[in-house]
Structure 1
Amino acid sequence: MKSRINIIMLLVFLLCLLLIFRLGYLQIVQGDTYQEEVENAQFVEINQSVPRGEIYDRNGNLLVGNASKKAVYFTRHRNMSSGEIMDVAVELSGYLDMETENLSLRDKQDYLINRYPDEVENLMAEEKTLLDNGNISQEQFNQELYQRIDEEQVSSVLTEEDLNTIAIYVEMVNARELNPTVIKSEGVTEEEFAEINESLELLDGISTGMDWERDYPYGETLRTVLGEVSSSEEGLPKELLDHYMARGYSRNDRVGKTYLEYQYENVLRGEKEQVKYSTDKSGEIISQEVVKEGEPGDDLYLTVDIDLQLELEELAEHHLTSLRSMAEEIQQRNSRSGEIDYTIIPEYLNTVVLVVQDPNNGDVLAMVGKRLDDNGEVVDYHYGALTSTYAVGSSVKGATVAAGYQNDVIEAGETLVDEPLEFADGTTKSSFFNRDGKVAIDDQEALMVSSNVYMMKIAMGIAGMEYQPGMSLPSDVTEAGQTLRNGLSQFGLGVSTGIDLPNEARSLKPEFNNNPSSYLDLSIGQYDTYSALQLSQYVSTIANGGNRVGLHMAKEVREGDTNEEGAILQSFNGKVLNTVEFSPAELAQIQNGFFDVFNTHDTSTDRYGTGWDAYHELEPKAAGKTGTAEAHFNGDPILNQTYTGYAPHDDPDMAFSVIFPNMPYTVPFFPAQYLGRDVINKYYELYHEEAAIAPYEYNTNDFYSKLVYGSY
């Protein structure tokens, strides 16, 4: 017995010795490691809302700011049960009124189960008996309740106070531990704010503070392009959840959702406050220490000039509504007289988009879009300059001529015969200025009078063909089509402009489907589609001598400072995406042709540039190209009218593009080109201190007499 006791005592001694060694190892060797883990467990980056950076125009005018607002927050301590949260919600409900219209039926049913057991028993007496007898589980009982008790039955039990409590509880129960979550930030009254502040000791985890919302001093101007920010209730949008979670965001962070707010999220977001919490054994917060103050986001300065933007919006609206009114007047007059033997459909005339940029550095100075809705009301469509593409017609012919040079089809100043083209399959093609004769013109004049035939002969040359009357076109023009498309895309037509915005539309590029006629149409802008931004980049490349400069909306990032402009942290300069190769003589031919389009009346031939009517009186002189593309809308023939150019012609600091889609199919076409003239005049007024000139006023009586039947 004695030896056994000794053995037991030895084992006890050895075990105690082992325990002492283990405790020593944990405290001495591993103590710092475990202490660090404990501290790290209490050190969290909380989602305390910090204001986003603000957005300004190029001149420092505030476009997007932050408006502060009162907010009520809830911080869930560790191990806090849903029952404890409900108790806080019930208490808080006496101080705070919530919106209850969007509460789900399931939330109401859950509240009914937990807070009104007697009413539930009355509504489901049979199932309650089965539950008490052990014939069904609580989960089965709840599932039956969810299926049987409808909105009407729930409403018969729950009071307005109950619904208010549910709304508070729903916001609180989803909160992450030790992370302040907004319960209410919209419409918190002074009285609510004061009463909650006075009762914070009774409201476990509740605090008050300030939240923010985006403020737009210029209303809806560029509203879509500026972008959206998620609300505190929404947090990370579902469609962007993976994108932001992979970058270390929390689910309830407020983030940029669209366009500039999304594109420059990393600039505008700011840095969240970091807080070190101390908790007791139960997980309740006993103290907290701010380790790092939150910092608002940096400010984004855009290339946009808001004064120019607003002026051009007025011009676009004036021209769009005036053209619609003129179309309606002509339709009404013709319904009585029957003088015009084609149909004008005024409601199709519903859109205009335009872009103004600096052709030398890619700065987008203004991006305007206007539409007429089904009620005839004007609505903003600014993003249409980015997201919509159209067949643009002859405006692209400068790029076609350049492709002719580069593929050794023509030389600078080369003369070709403009004549109606007739092919073996019966297809005919001709120029609007010359329907039935033979006219020798060079590349410069071909641009001036917008010769379709000159461009189509370039296209045939690229495909290795020389025109002969009655000739057959090859069935496979795929390689030649790609060569011509490459010639157009080097100017930005049909490819990304490099704009720093998501969702940029590129182009519709249909297959030629063994239809060589479509290949010829490509050379005159009648096949592929392009956006207003692409047209603007294209003409800017011609204006600046051949550099295709990437477009951009961001000008600078500055340090956020509420009192003054902060220090510049980053500048955005136009990146040259590619350089178009042509000789000085070739460039001069294109630029001179564009000058003639706007300014020349050849008295020896009595030929006018296609933009002469609207643009020839401009001072300083401008240059550019007009275009008209045949298309269909709802099965009816329509015309897309486009105008693009730059000014002053000899030292350009602005370039523009205008697209009027779905215009009436008339000859002469509706005089929409005057919008381009007014755009240049307004730019001269604001940037060159030229005298203000009133916008063009349309006169139905003058125009009506010129309408004759024809087709392009």
Structure 2
Amino acid sequence: MGKKKKKSYLPFRLNILFIFVFALFSLLILQLGVVQILNGEEAQKEIKKTIDTNTKLPVPRGLMYDRFGRIVLDNEPVRSITYTPPKGGDTAEKRLEIAEKLANFITIESDEEELLKRVRERDKKEYWFLFNEEDAQSRLTSEEKEELTAGEQYQAMLDKTTSADYNEFDWNDMDLLNVVAIKKELDQAFELSPHVVKNEDVSAEEFAMVAEHLYELPGIDASNDWNRRTVYDDTFKNFLGRISSSNEGIPRDNSDFYLTRGYSRNDRVGLSGLEQQYESELRGLKEEVQYTTDKTGAVVGMQSVVDGQSGNDLILSVDIELQQKVDQIVREELEAAVTESPEKNKFLEDAMVVMMEPKTGEILAISGAHYDRENDEYRDESFRVVYDAHQPGSAIKGSTILAGFESGVINIGESIYDRPIKIAESVKSSWRNLGPTNDIRALEQSSNVYMFHIAMRMAGATYQYGEPLYNFNWDTFQTMRNYFHQFGLGVETGIDLPFESTGVVGTSPMAGNLLDFSIGQYDTYTTLQLAQYVSTIANDGYRVRPRLVKEVRKPEPEKEKLGPVISSFNTEVLNKIQMDDRYISRVQEGFVDVFSKGTAANAWGDRASEYKMAGKTGTAENDIYENRALVGETENLTLVGYSPYDNPEVAFAIVVPRNGQNTGLNPHHTIGKRIMDAYYELKEARAKDGINLDLSSEDNDENEEEITETEAE
């Protein structure tokens, strides 16, 4: 018998393992079937899930027109390259990658010197950090890693980065500088908010190249943008103001104010002048866009949800043609005064003018020229009209006379003997001894002594020649200032600008200073305040708010056509002088005599009667000190006036400070005559041409929202 063969079989444990593995695979296949068959559609939706986010895009700002409908401030279309980061933002490495690609198509700055200025030390450090993050982190101490926040740690690492570190790169390489400058712009962008990378001098070739390669430039777009353009160059530019660039955005120190009103951080806003004052009107209605992003945050689509609308347009009170002429006159006369008497006028630097309608407060022209001695050039610095204050001299004597009338210390027609007065050792007098002088002649011949007696009487002082003033009431300073305030002297005029100076109030209440105050040689006032003062007298005692904007209108697609009126700013009376109308009439009569036979008669000649002039001249001593040493004796020359005196339609104030003494020149009178010539020549020419000076129409009346005339205390 042969040997019996042994039977072969798997061990029991191995069989158990196979069964367990088989069960697991069966469960996995079952689960996959459930996902694919029962939940497949839902899973696919989750994969394709996107997020819709709305953002608002800025629209062109409103335009500005002069009082006759001529465009003064326009929007100029420009090509623009923008970057819109995805939701959650891009990493620094991703932005660098985009910058490197974009640098193949645009040059952020064509001028090499300007490009070098753009890339600063911090930018070089941040570029080095991108390639050496581990090295930079190793320089932090353990305390810094534990105690500092992520942002503070980053700043600490930059602080520890040396020039030897970042100079590993060749910073003379313009291509490298271009990349870093572009990345710097990308770094400033906020998520889902377009940030302008370049909109100055984007060439047609750059624009086309970027547009052609958008598919490889995530977040980059080539679109049309706009910049502000002053149509008449620098004319009136100081008051038009400026707006921030898209890279500046909203002011950081007031960001909450703008963000709560629907602004984005990189929105352009008015920063000065009318751009700032009328920001809410000029900004317009933003276009609302819905961005669709995938799960990675990349923008995969966009659509407009709310159509945007350009900002409203402003109709200014200014006559831009008159403004140009006045600017030229002021500059020419300032230059003539400087060059014709260079030694005596070595401190003369400014000349300022305001022309306005006394009955409405509408500013017709507002001008100021400044001579920069260091660079020997003349500049338009008309902002000085509302910023700079000077002692006006006798121009304010109309206020002093009226204060005397109302306080009861003088009567209409009362005569005072004009001869020098002496208080202790101080002698004060008029420009010459005028003898018996009544109120009108005191204005006509600009009597200082008449004003001194008004001030002393109001103070209740006892005057004896050569003796100190006894029983002097120190409250008289404030009493006289309160009278002056009624004319706009020493208080805000209320002009529609973000800022105006109210002048400087003297702080030494000595008796002699009160006398100086009464003749305009103590407190200081702006040229605009003087214009409001003389307008108040011309306007029978009604002080009106000066305005640079007449109307707000809806925008029209055609710039040459004005839209319907949204709001119209009617005359706003701030206060009525609390004085008898007879007193105001007496001052008006004295102002007429100033030009017909008084201190302005010789300078104005036939123009005084031709234009029916009324007003007041002024001269204030203005000694110049350096390190408390007297270095020059100068005079502030002023002139205020209005025309025609029987129905005033234009008032003006002229200030030429720090004019040399005894120069033989009268720039304030020369400026005055020439600006009045310009005003009436333009008026006559327009009348002959039949130009309609009224911009309103019947179609616009129903849309007009009038501002009710108010009367303030």
TM-score range, shorter chain: 0.7 to 0.9
- Provide the rounded CA distance (Å) in 2 between the counterparts of 1:591 and 1:66: 46
- What is aligned with 2:216? 202
Matched-pair contact (CA < 8 Å) for 1:478–1:512? no
- What is aligned with 1:360? 359
- Provide the rounded CA distance (Å) in 1 between the counterparts of 2:586 and 2:397: 12
Secondary structure of 1:84's aligned partner: helix
- What is aligned with 1:84? 94
- What is aligned with 1:163? 177
- What is aligned with 1:12? none
- Provide the rounded CA distance (Å) in 1 between the counterparts of 2:171 and 2:329: 59
- What is aligned with 2:564? 567
Matched-pair contact (CA < 8 Å) for 1:360–1:544? yes
Q: 2:334 aligns with which of 312, 320, 336?
A: 320
User: 1:74 and 2:83 equivalent?
Assistant: yes
- Provide the rounded CA distance (Å) in 2 between the counterparts of 1:140 and 1:422: 74
Do the aligned partners of residues 69 and 351 (structure 1) sit closer, same or farther apart at CA in structure 2, a change above 3 Å counting? same
> How do 1:687-698 and structure 2 match up within 5 A?
687-689=683-685
Q: What per-residue deviation string (whole Å, max 9, x for no partner) do you get for residues 314-339 of structure 1?
A: 211221122222213xx5xxxxxxxx
Give the unaligned 5+ runs of structure 1: 1-37, 332-343, 601-608, 693-712
Do the aligned partners of residues 185 and 321 (structure 1) sit closer, same or farther apart at CA in structure 2, a change above 3 Å counting? same
User: 1:189 and 2:203 equivalent?
Assistant: yes
TM-score (norm 1): 0.81
- Provide the rounded CA distance (Å) in 1 between the counterparts of 2:325 and 2:686: 15
- Provide the rounded CA distance (Å) in 1 between the counterparts of 2:465 and 2:312: 66
Matched-pair contact (CA < 8 Å) for 1:315–1:675? yes
- What is aligned with 1:464? 460
Q: 1:509 aligns with which of 505, 518, 533?
A: 505
- Provide the rounded CA distance (Å) in 1 between the counterparts of 2:229 and 2:280: 20
Matched-pair contact (CA < 8 Å) for 1:323–1:672? no
Identify the range of structure 1 (532-541 vs 503-512) with the bigger mean alpha-carbon deviation: 503-512
Secondary structure of 2:658's aligned partner: strand
Matched-pair contact (CA < 8 Å) for 1:477–1:519? no
User: 1:673 and 2:683 equivalent?
Assistant: no
- Provide the rounded CA distance (Å) in 2 between the counterparts of 1:470 and 1:131: 82
Matched-pair contact (CA < 8 Å) for 2:461–2:470? no
- What is aligned with 1:633? 624
Q: Which runs of 4+ in 1 moved over 6 A?
A: 134-142
Secondary structure of 2:390's aligned partner: coil
Task: For 1:579, give the aligned amino acid.
Answer: K
Do the aligned partners of residues 490 and 172 (structure 1) sit closer, same or farther apart at CA in structure 2, a change above 3 Å counting? same
- Provide the rounded CA distance (Å) in 2 between the counterparts of 1:135 and 1:405: 79
**Which protein shows a greater Rg?**
2
Matched-pair contact (CA < 8 Å) for 1:457–1:466? no
Q: What per-residue deviation string (whole Å, max 9, x for no partner) do you get for residues 291-316 of structure 1?
A: 01121111111111011111111211
Do the aligned partners of residues 422 and 560 (structure 1) sit closer, same or farther apart at CA in structure 2, a change above 3 Å counting? same
Matched-pair contact (CA < 8 Å) for 1:76–1:205? yes
User: 1:684 and 2:680 equivalent?
Assistant: yes
TM-score (norm 2): 0.81
User: 1:536 and 2:536 equivalent?
Assistant: no
Task: For 1:380, give the aligned amino acid.
Answer: D
> How do 1:598-609 and structure 2 match up within 5 A?
598-600=595-597, 609=598
- What is aligned with 1:710? none
- What is aligned with 1:111? 127
Secondary structure of 1:548's aligned partner: strand
- Provide the rounded CA distance (Å) in 2 between the counterparts of 1:173 and 1:260: 32
Secondary structure of 2:413's aligned partner: coil
Matched-pair contact (CA < 8 Å) for 2:655–2:668? no
Secondary structure of 2:341's aligned partner: helix
- Provide the rounded CA distance (Å) in 2 between the counterparts of 1:407 and 1:236: 51
Secondary structure of 1:650's aligned partner: coil
> How do 1:3-402 and structure 2 match up within 5 A?
42-46=52-56, 48-82=57-91, 83-99=93-109, 100-101=115-116, 102-115=118-131, 143=157, 146-150=160-164, 153-156=167-170, 159-328=173-342, 331=343, 344=344, 346-374=345-373, 375-402=375-402
- Provide the rounded CA distance (Å) in 2 between the counterparts of 1:494 and 1:136: 57
- Provide the rounded CA distance (Å) in 2 between the counterparts of 1:480 and 1:545: 26
- Provide the rounded CA distance (Å) in 2 between the counterparts of 1:670 and 1:195: 62
Q: What per-residue deviation string (whole Å, max 9, x for no partner) do you get for residues 186-245 of structure 1?
A: 121111111111111222122110111111111111212110111111112334435434
- Provide the rounded CA distance (Å) in 2 between the counterparts of 1:254 and 1:182: 11
Do the aligned partners of residues 524 and 150 (structure 1) sit closer, same or farther apart at CA in structure 2, a change above 3 Å counting? farther
- Provide the rounded CA distance (Å) in 1 between the counterparts of 2:265 and 2:653: 42
Task: For 1:220, give the aligned amino acid.
Answer: D
Secondary structure of 1:413's aligned partner: coil
Matched-pair contact (CA < 8 Å) for 2:193–2:264? no
Task: For 1:268, give the aligned amino acid.
Answer: L
Matched-pair contact (CA < 8 Å) for 2:341–2:663? no
Q: For this pair of structures, how many residues does the alignment match?
A: 616
Q: What per-residue deviation string (whole Å, max 9, x for no partner) do you get for residues 8-54 of structure 1?
A: xxxxxxxxxxxxxxxxxxxxxxxxxxxxxx99x734223x3321111
- What is aligned with 1:452? 448
- Provide the rounded CA distance (Å) in 1 between the counterparts of 2:320 and 2:139: 69
Q: 1:622 aligns with which of 606, 613, 619?
A: 613
Offset of 1:135 from its aligned partner? 13
Identify the range of structure 1 (282-291 vs 439-448) with the bigger mean alpha-carbon deviation: 282-291
Do the aligned partners of residues 214 and 541 (structure 1) sit closer, same or farther apart at CA in structure 2, a change above 3 Å counting? same
Offset of 1:670 from its aligned partner? 4.2
- What is aligned with 1:521? 516
Q: What per-residue deviation string (whole Å, max 9, x for no partner) do you get for residues 136-193 of structure 1?
A: 9896998388432348724437843332222222222332222222111112111111
- Provide the rounded CA distance (Å) in 2 between the counterparts of 1:135 and 1:468: 82
Provide the alpha-carbon RMSD of the alignment.
2.8
Matched-pair contact (CA < 8 Å) for 2:419–2:429? yes
Matched-pair contact (CA < 8 Å) for 1:105–1:151? no
Q: 2:600 aligns with which of 590, 598, 611?
A: 611
Secondary structure of 2:86's aligned partner: coil
Q: What per-residue deviation string (whole Å, max 9, x for no partner) do you get for residues 328-386 of structure 1?
A: 3xx5xxxxxxxxxxxx2x22122100110000010010001011111432111111111
Do the aligned partners of residues 405 and 193 (structure 1) sit closer, same or farther apart at CA in structure 2, a change above 3 Å counting? same
Task: For 1:552, give the aligned amino acid.
Answer: R
Task: For 2:617, give the aligned amino acid.
Answer: T
Task: For 1:353, give the aligned amino acid.
Answer: M
- Provide the rounded CA distance (Å) in 2 between the counterparts of 1:620 and 1:579: 27
User: 1:500 and 2:500 equivalent?
Assistant: no
Secondary structure of 1:359's aligned partner: coil
Do the aligned partners of residues 142 and 161 (structure 1) sit closer, same or farther apart at CA in structure 2, a change above 3 Å counting? farther
Secondary structure of 1:626's aligned partner: strand
- What is aligned with 1:647? 643
Offset of 1:503 from its aligned partner? 2.3
Offset of 1:283 from its aligned partner? 2.2
Task: For 1:612, give the aligned amino acid.
Answer: A
Do the aligned partners of residues 142 and 323 (structure 1) sit closer, same or farther apart at CA in structure 2, a change above 3 Å counting? closer
- Provide the rounded CA distance (Å) in 2 between the counterparts of 1:136 and 1:372: 55
- Provide the rounded CA distance (Å) in 2 between the counterparts of 1:211 and 1:660: 43
Q: What per-residue deviation string (whole Å, max 9, x for no partner) do you get for residues 89-137 of structure 1?
A: 222221121134212223223323434x5xx99xx8xx99x789x9998
